[in-house]
Structure 1
Amino acid sequence: MERQQVVVVDRKMAELVRLVVRVKNGEEVRQVERLVQVALKGVMVRLEKVMKAVDYVRLRTLKGVLNVLSPLQCVEFLAGIGILQILLRQWGKKKWF
């Protein structure tokens, strides 16, 4: 997982940053726009792979926890997770908006 995160910021992105600095000094804008699109496409592909891996780990962990619990404990656990998510969203809305 960490390796994927490091790959997200690779040589192409570093070159892109250098080009943006040059554009601010008055060079070709179209070239930079094209490079931005290519770089972002690559980042999005890698990010999608990371997100799929994270979802898989999350699901595997949840299944492991539910296999250990009794049916009643599973219901209580899932209900608690739902309540926690709702409360976190409400707290986030109050804190940031």
Structure 2
Amino acid sequence: MVANAWRPPLEPAGVTRYTVTRYNEGMPMTQAAERMRAMRARRRARGLRELRLIVPDPQAATVRRRVAQQVARLNQAAEQDAMRWIEAVSEFDAP
């Protein structure tokens, strides 16, 4: 066995691998919608499903203002009680 033989690094099982398809002149390129449909079908076959999330832009002034208003309305005692509970049940803070 060669001592310096290259080995791929160990990776978590959930890493998505992308395959690059090279098209030559004898094989026309598939339309984008068809490629996306095929990719979704391959992912569904692996038990995965696409999920799109639309979230407010945190850089927008209106969003920042709305968040600040909601934070100002929080009950500080209730929030501290919730934080105490979270810390009590948290596994990350355990020695």
Q: Which has the higher contact order (CA 8 A, sep 6+)?
A: 1
Q: Which has the higher helix share?
A: 1
Bucket of the pairwise TM-score, normalised by the shorter protein: under 0.3
Q: Please identify the structure whose Cα radius of gyration is greater.
A: 2
When normalised by structure 1's length, the TM-score is 0.25
When normalised by structure 2's length, the TM-score is 0.26
